[in-house]
Structure 1
């Protein structure tokens, strides 16, 4: 069986192309928690990495919008998102993801909040 490849060049070992692309667009709609991605036996290493990175970027984008006044600030949501970003970063570390510098999921927001 030949693995499908998404538009991003990620091998599609576990999910059919359309399903993986949909999950990559909004991982939180397909998985209840980042840890569920790690425990999904149908996903390849590359798929897990991409889903976690996308989820982290979604959080960072939402936090940036909130900080810029585009979304109403909610202390509970900010705390939840910060914890979620930390969990995602820990899972990315487990996968051996190369650090993305200061722009990795969650780190950009923490840098801005510390300013």
Structure 2
């Protein structure tokens, strides 16, 4: 499998990736660029990432934030994730046939 820039997917367990997309993708654009993902998978990862950010922001607002070694611009990142979600929502899976998607899954 050719490496996709910004992707650190070293597991075949999609549920593990969904649990923490930021651990496997450097940025939301890397999810968009990952040709091994279907439209539905990209949406699921991006929505989970957006929810994770929102949860952290709510915890921070309530004074329950965990200590982080480096403060990330979560608001900017959330904007990028939401922009990626909008982009995927505007796509269709019609351009990729079912056989090609199955083949991509099998050859990962």
Place the TM-score, normalised by the shorter chain, in its bin.
Answer: 0.5 to 0.7
Partner of 2:88 in structure 1? 95
- Where structure 1 has 5 or more consecutive residues not aligned to the other structure, the ranges are 1-14, 98-115
Partner of 1:70 in structure 2? 64
Query: 1:16-55, aligned counterparts within 5 Å?
Result: 16=12, 19-55=13-49
Using the alignment, how far apart are the partners of 2:85 and 2:45 within structure 1? Answer: 10
Q: 1:45, 1:95 within 8 Å by CA — same for their partners in 2?
A: yes
Once the two structures are TM-superposed, the CA of residue 95 in structure 1 deviates from its matched residue by: 1.2
Structure 1 runs (4+) deviating above 2 angstroms are: none
For residues 51-95 of structure 1, the C-alpha deviation after alignment (integer angstroms, 9 at most, x for no partner) is 000000000000000000001688x736x1000000011111111
TM-score (norm 2): 0.66
Once the two structures are TM-superposed, the CA of residue 96 in structure 1 deviates from its matched residue by: 1.6
Q: Secondary structure at the match of 1:77?
A: coil
The number of aligned residues is 79
Q: 1:66, 1:73 within 8 Å by CA — same for their partners in 2?
A: no
TM-score (norm 1): 0.62
Q: Which has the higher contact order (CA 8 A, sep 6+)?
A: 2
Using the alignment, how far apart are the partners of 1:65 and 1:44 within structure 2? Answer: 32
Partner of 1:4 in structure 2? none
